[in-house]
A and B are shown apart, each in its own frame.
Chain A
Amino acid sequence: MRTDLNKIGKKSTENRFSRKRMWLKKFVILFILQFSGFFTAQSSPDFFILSDKAFQKLYQNPDDCINYSLSILISDKNIEHKIVLRNIISQAYAMKGDYVQSANTASQTEDMGDNNTLSYFMQTFSDYNLADQYQNLDLYNQSQKIITNLLSDSKLLKSDDQKIRITVAKLYQLQALNFGINRNLISASQNLDKSDQYIDNHNEENKIIGFENKIFRSAYLLRQNHLPESKQIIENVILKLEKEENQPYLAALAYENYSRYYFQKGDYFSANNQLEKALSKIEKLPFNALKFRIYESLSKNYLALHNDEKYHEYNKLYIDLKTKIDASTKEGIRYIIKLAESSQNKNIEFQKQNQFKRFWILTLIISLIIIGLIIYFLVLRSKNKELKKQFEFFEKQKKREKTIPEHIQVLKENNILSSDKNIEKDSNKISKEKETEILQKLEEWEESDQYLSKSMSLSMLSAQMGVNTKYLSEVINNNKGKNFNGYINELRINHIAHLLKTDSTYLNYKVSYLAEFSGFSSHSAFTTIFKSVTGMSPNAYIQEITKSRTL
């Protein structure tokens, strides 16, 4: 029975493989769409069709399947495709009873190259592959451990991806087989139920798993001595399979299980009938793992029927095949360690990638927040500068308003005083004297509102004052802290700002008029200079004034 289960397990794993392929395909496409940069390999929906065919061939003729899959494998460079194909080939060898090649194929590590991005599916799939190999080689506990671990991942169970759903179905089926081997038939049946939940009959792969689940269920019912239920299920499966074309493996498996029902009832003749049917289905096909089970059953039936000749014939066939398969299993175990190692390395690699990804996501988020805050900070700072300017402007404006009348007087007195002083001093200070004179003239000029004239320039002013241009320019630079243009512009802006504040009629004028009025050649120059002097645009200024008026 155990060997039976093994075989069944192999079949189921093969089914799972095909489903996985489907998943893989979908997954790959999704992945490529999302991270096209990661995958340089060909994204081919064709692969899904090809791998599907390979999977179908697995159940029709393992040798064909191996050749076919190898031919695809050679030309395909996508790592996920390769893993899937290797799985199919490995399954084909397992069906042939060649566990050495099976484990060897499964343990071949892919040359990851530069595209070493492991997808979630790849990770799950390679774990599943390992669990399957463990089961092939009778390491049921190890297989069970891996599957329990995998199935505890709710992300896997809740996935809507059909590829993943079928893999989950296969995992539950595999787990059912593990439980079956440990005689925990109730848990085994429960796992089959769960496996069924993940199956929809949208493709061949799903159908095959469905059939297998039914066959296993019938086998477990038989082992629990629920003969009628077992019979009903297996007869149903056989009826359906008879309608399907070219399903030799599944048909043989079903007949073989049906024979067990008759065997248990003691109807060895009917049992043999079923077995002969099973054998005729796969006689020329290398499904050795299933064949040796059939031989075993046949030899037992003939022993019970006291047909010595046939008993010895089939017993010999059984022993020969079993010897081969046992040897192969033993040797296959040598490779399983390699497979385990490579799978664990992949796990570590996957973990590294995940953590790396998580780290970068976190860093990215934090960096974005920091950049956002820095930008906000800079905005605030520039606003702060503007406000400061505005504040200073308004403060100056206020001061000026208060001081203008006195200032003029004081200035005049000062001038008289200073000129007196200057006269008393050396002729060296003539420049100082002159400077004071110029300043006084400037003061008067400021009062005159002449600066509002568009044509006002340094040369014109110097001509008006009768002072050397250079000298005037130097005096302005030294005393006003800016050149003539800056000086006159500030005067104009101060003037217009003052007017705006004090005379509400100005508030109704257009900015362009105000620009013209204050002696600026263009609107934009006015706006720019206005802003540089007051810290706010003319419009904002007008708004502020209006607001304060209405309050």
Chain B
Amino acid sequence: MKFIIKNILILFVVFQISAFGQKIPDDSLMKKARLEIYDNPDKAIDITKNLLKKEKNINKTISLYMLLSTANIAKRDFDESLKYILKAKELTQKTNDLKTQTTVLVSVAIQYQQMELFSKSLETLDEADQYLSQLPDDSQEKYIETARSYAVRGMIYKSQSHSEIALEKFLKSIESFEKIKAEKPTNANKSIVYYNIGYCYLNLNQNDKAEQAFLQSIGCARKNKAKSLEAFALKGIAELYKKKRENQTALNLLIKAENLSKNTGDLVLNAGIYKEMADNYLAMGKQDLYQAYNRKYFEMQFRKQQNELNSINQVIDNHNKETLLKSEDLSNKHQFLIASAAGLGILLIAILLTFIIKIRKQNRKYHKEIQQLIRS
């Protein structure tokens, strides 16, 4: 279950980042850097660092720092990541724009939460709250950031298995989301929060409320035609039925979810669905189907995991390449050294040999002449 939570979390963060990105237009390089983050973090970092040198706009600089931080998370270099987060945070102090300040702070909190530095994240959220309280009550930004802030808190408590507290935060988050007029962009986030609420209720054994929340999540997802979110919620309901030992009903829902998720390529979702299907088949005593779906689950899980490890692989491969270059350089030098030593040696040997041959010839000549002299 934990992995599901984590992946939802990632989804959430991705949504947030794209929302953040909309405010500050990217140039193409920055987009490229974003694309490279998980495939080749080193390259993303290079691009972003170059952009940073030229950038003078504070808001853009902040987003570049956030990008650097994310890329370093992909490299699992948390120290570097923290360094850039702090730089971004420092810069926000210089802007007098309250909205930017709160947005950045909440993003920083999400970053911390991704790094599983929960206390830091909560600290940053508290800081953000101070700015939030200064925002005019009826402003849209206030609602958005409040909702995000509570959602992050909810995620943190949930990952610490404090379902009750998490639930409270999620409910507050939903409350704020409901107040936002622009419904469309918030629907996805609402669906995610409802899904999380559902899981909290599920953990608390409040099955009816859980079902309600999942249904809400489905509703929000449908409004945005977000198939994967709908599938997530369906999976949640299926878990409810599994709990009630209504395996067939659960399976029907899961098959529906599977169809929805078919083209999304969402490995987390697929792995979750297959795992639930396997579990249900197992409970129904269908060992063959269990085996089949269990295999699918492992496949998805494995692919998901290897995807996550891509950036690390990339970094290691880069290291290997560098080492190979160094090693080639070394052996080139070595070969040169060996060749010169051998060349010099052969030259000396050749010179000596000519001397030796000469002197031997002379000796032979002397010898012969001496013999002749003696005999004569």
Query: Interface on A for B, CB 8 Å cutoff?
Result: 1-2, 138-139, 141-142, 181, 264, 266, 300, 303-304, 306, 308, 319, 322-323, 326-327, 330, 333-334, 336-337, 340-341, 344, 347-348, 351-352, 355, 358-359, 362-363, 366-367, 369-370, 373-374, 376-377, 380-381, 383-384, 387-388, 390-391, 394-395, 397-398, 501, 544-545, 548, 551
Pairwise interchain contact B330-A366, C-beta atoms closer than 8 A: no
Do A390 and B370 touch (CB < 8 A)? yes
Partner of B313, one of A139, A181, A304, A388: A139
Scan B66-84; emit 1 where CB is below 8 A from any A CB, else 0. Answer: 0000000001111000000
* Cβ-based interface call for B356 (8 A): yes
Residues of A near B330 (CB, < 8 A) are: 348, 351-352, 355
Whether a CB of chain A sits under 8 angstroms from the CB of B19 is: no
Roughly how many angstroms separate A306 CA and B283 CA in the complex, as a whole number?
Answer: 7
- Contact: A377 with B352, CB < 8 Å? yes
Complex Cα distance A200/B107, Å?
59
Our pick among A306, A355, A374, A501 for the contact of B331 (Cβ within 8 Å) is A355
| Given A347-B327, A369-B349, A373-B349, A363:B374 Cβ within 8 A | no
B350-376 at interface with A (beta carbon < 8 Å)? 352-353, 355-356, 359-360, 362-363, 366-367, 369-371, 373-376
Q: Is the CB of A1 within 8 A of B298?
A: yes
Main secondary structure of the interface of B (DSSP, over half): helix
For the complex, count residues of B whose C-beta is within 8 A of A. Answer: 59
A-B contact pairs, 14 of them (CB 8 A): A138-B309, A266-B287, A300-B282, A319-B1, A327-B116, A334-B77, A340-B319, A351-B331, A358-B334, A366-B348, A380-B360, A387-B367, A391-B369, A548-B371
Q: In the assembled complex, which residues on chain A have CB atoms less than 8 Å from the CB atom of B353?
A: 373
Whether B373 and A394, one on each chain, are in contact in the complex, defined by CB atoms closer than 8 angstroms, is: yes
How many angstroms between the C-alpha atoms of A348 and B353 in the bound complex? 39
Q: Contact: A336 with B312, CB < 8 Å? A: yes
Confirm or deny: B136 has a beta carbon within 8 angstroms of a beta carbon on chain A.
no
A319 to B322, CA, bound (A): 40
For residue A267, give the distance in angstroms from its CB to the closest CB of chain B.
10
| Residues in B whose Cβ lies below 8 Å from that of A394 | 370, 373-374
Separation in Å of the B272 CB from the closest CB of chain A?
Answer: 14
From B75, B77, B313, B375, contact of A142 by CB (8 A): B313
Tell me the smallest distance from the CB of A367 to a CB of chain B, in Å.
Answer: 8
A395 contacts B373, C-beta separation under 8 Å: yes
Residues A383 and B363 in contact, CB atoms below 8 Å apart: yes
Chain B residues closer than 8 Å to A142, beta-carbon distance? 313, 316
A390 touches B366 (CB 8 A): yes
Could you say which of B305, B334, B341 contacts A363, with CB atoms under 8 Å apart? B341
Give chain B residues whose Cβ lies under 8 Å from the Cβ of A326. Answer: 2-3
Residues of A near B327 (CB, < 8 A) are 347-348, 351
* Partner among A264, A327, A367, A390 whose Cβ is within 8 Å of the Cβ of B291: A264
A194 to B304, CA, bound (A): 32
CA distance A333 to B75 in the complex (A): 9
The reply to whether B345 and A369 form a contact with Cβ atoms under 8 Å apart is: yes
Do residues B356 and A376 form an inter-chain contact, with CB atoms below 8 A? yes
8 Å CB contacts to A: which residues of B277-336? 279, 282-283, 285, 287, 291, 298, 301-302, 305-306, 309, 312-313, 315-316, 319-320, 322-323, 326-327, 330-331, 334
Q: Which of B352, B359, B373 contacts A370 (CB 8 A)?
A: B352
Q: Which of A139, A304, A337, A388 contacts B366 (CB 8 A)?
A: A388
Residues of A within 8 A of B334 (CB): 355, 358-359
Whether a CB of chain A sits under 8 angstroms from the CB of B10 is: no
How distant is the Cα of A185 from the Cα of B277 in the complex, in angstroms?
25
Instruction: Specify which chain B residues have a CB less than 8 angstroms from the CB of A376 in the assembled complex.
Output: 356
Q: How far is the CB of B312 from chain A (nearest CB, A)?
A: 6
Query: Which B residues are in CB contact (< 8 Å) with A181?
Result: 302
- With A336-B312, A355-B330, A370-B348 as given contacts, are A362 and B370 in contact (CB-CB < 8 Å)? no
Contact A264 B287, CB 8 Å, known A359-B338, A366-B341, A394-B374: yes
Give the nearest-CB partner of A304 in chain B: B282
Task: Report which residue of B312, B322, B348 has the largest number of chain A beta carbons within 10 angstroms of its beta carbon.
Answer: B312
Nearest-Cβ distance from residue A327 to partner chain B, whole angstroms: 7
Residue of A nearest to B283 (CB): A303
**Which of A352, A370, A388, A544 lies in contact with B345, CB distance below 8 A?**
A370
Cross-chain contact B356 with A337 (CB below 8 angstroms): no
**Complex CA distance for A200 and B344, rounded to whole angstroms:** 50
Distance to closest chain B CB from A493 (angstroms)? 16
Q: Which residues of B contact A391 (CB under 8 A)?
A: 366, 369-370, 373
Q: In the complex, what residues of A have CB within 8 A of residue B316's CB?
A: 139, 142, 336-337, 340
Contact across chains for B337 and A359 when beta carbons are under 8 A apart = yes
- Report the separation of the CA atoms of residues A377 and B354 in the bound assembly, to the nearest whole angstrom: 10
Q: List A contacts of B315 (CB < 8 A).
A: 337
| Interface residue? B342 (CB, 8 A) | yes
Determine which of B323, B338, B352 lies in contact with A348 in the assembled complex, contact meaning CB atoms within 8 Å: B323
